[in-house]
């Protein structure tokens, strides 16, 4: 991995584009990691950052993750990511900023294809689509690929959690398996409902404590604070919020045998993958397990397949995880490193 321009996560990005539109107040980053397999696909998030360098770093990490995710999902697409900076936490993005971001996407001539991510919605994508055709995740007719990627991501994570539990715990059913879920937004709540249907025991946490409490009441689960969830004694810990939460300190405090969740960039550093392996904790590489959403919106953009094809591809996630875990067992390398090696080979960066 090559750093550059003062950013350790630069990793030979093909382009990092900074946009400013004074009329709307837009400040945005579009990072294009690789177009080796096709146009760089990845969502855009609207988020408040302490400073612009952190926004750029987030875009770089997410963009690289999308390169790896799309490659491992077998999609003919590269990896990119958009970040729109919020003035303060809790802001709602304005139509004018969405339109300005759409013009920014259009200026790249199809090199980057955007979609919904944190802080965005299907409605946001509709506004962006007034300014560019290089957008996916738009509302669609029943039975078609596309639309909100959250439920598809949740379904893939659910399949991955079951595969990880079977591998790491030796169980064939999730009934009675204790899963601690960090983050109950679109993906985490969808995962929780699927696991509750299987009879799993749930402990939930979210920065919005009321949201976690409401879901726990609905599903018969328990709640803990967002700060405490990673330290819960559970069979599976499932991160489904923001990234960089698996650090040297948090890994030392884990009381679980399995980490499997939908959050992007869960490892704060590459070394943290080795720390999990040293503790004997089975790790499901995030960009392998959480590929359901991009499979959905990617096939929509490419015009390839329908709902049945989307679901068939998502059903392959457990097999891809097994490929990574098998190679990790053979080589003795952490599963995170093995996944990176496979993905880099697929995008021509051996």
Catalytic residues: 81
Please name the residue ranges forming H helices in 228-315: 248-252, 271-278, 286-289, 292-302, 307-314
Give the H/E segment covering residue 170: none
Angle between helices 52-72 and 292-302 (to 10 degrees): 80
Residue 319 and residue 292: Cα distance in Å, rounded? Answer: 14
Beta strands in the chain (DSSP E): 15-21, 26-34, 40-41, 44-47, 78-85, 112-113, 178-182, 201-205, 222-223, 236-239, 258-259, 282-283
Residues 6+ apart with CB under 8 A from 82: 28, 29, 30, 31, 42, 43, 44, 45, 59, 101, 105, 112, 114, 117
The two three-digit tokens of residue 280, written as one number: 């004997």
Residue 316 and residue 304: Cα distance in Å, rounded? Answer: 17
Helices (H) and strands (E) counted in the chain, each on its own, are 13, 12
Nearest alpha carbon to residue 128 among 300, 143, 187, 117: 117
């Amino acid at each position: 991995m090559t750093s550059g321009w003062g950013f350790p996560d630069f990793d030979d990005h093909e382009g990092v584009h900074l946009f400013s539109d004074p009329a709307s107040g837009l400040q945005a980053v579009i990072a294009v990691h690789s177009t080796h397999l096709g146009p760089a696909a990845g969502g855009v998030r609207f988020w408040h950052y302490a400073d612009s360098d952190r926004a750029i770093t987030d875009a770089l990490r997410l963009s690289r993750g999308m390169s790896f995710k799309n490659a491992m999902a077998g999609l003919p697409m590269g990896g990119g990511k958009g970040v729109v900076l919020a003035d303060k936490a809790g802001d709602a993005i304005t139509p004018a900023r969405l339109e300005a971001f759409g013009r920014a996407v259009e200026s790249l001539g199809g090199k980057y294809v955007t979609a919904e991510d944190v802080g965005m919605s299907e409605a946001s994508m509709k506004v962006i689509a007034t300014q560019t055709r290089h957008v996916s995740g738009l509302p669609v007719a029943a039975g078609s690929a596309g639309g909100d990627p959250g439920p598809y991501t949740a379904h893939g994570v659910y399949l991955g959690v079951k595969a990880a539990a079977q591998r790491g715990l030796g169980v064939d059913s999730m009934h009675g398996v204790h899963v601690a879920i960090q983050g109950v937004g679109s993906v985490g709540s969808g995962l929780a409902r699927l696991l509750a249907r299987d009879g799993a025991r749930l402990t939930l946490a979210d920065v919005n404590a009321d949201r976690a409490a409401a879901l726990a009441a609905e599903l018969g689960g328990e709640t803990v604070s967002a700060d405490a969830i990673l330290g819960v004694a559970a069979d599976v810990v499932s991160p489904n919020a923001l990234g960089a939460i698996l650090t040297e300190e948090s890994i030392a405090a884990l009381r679980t045998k399995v980490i499997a969740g939908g959050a992007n960039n869960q490892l704060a550093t590459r070394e943290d993958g080795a720390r999990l392996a040293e503790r004997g904790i089975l790790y499901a590489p995030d960009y392998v397990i959480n590929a359901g959403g991009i499979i959905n919106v990617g096939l929509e953009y490419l015009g390839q397949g329908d709902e049945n094809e989307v679901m068939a591809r998502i059903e392959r996630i457990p097999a891809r995880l097994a490929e990574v875990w098998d190679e990790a067992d053979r080589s003795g390398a952490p599963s995170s490193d093995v996944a990176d090696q496979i993905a880099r080979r697929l995008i021509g960066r051996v």
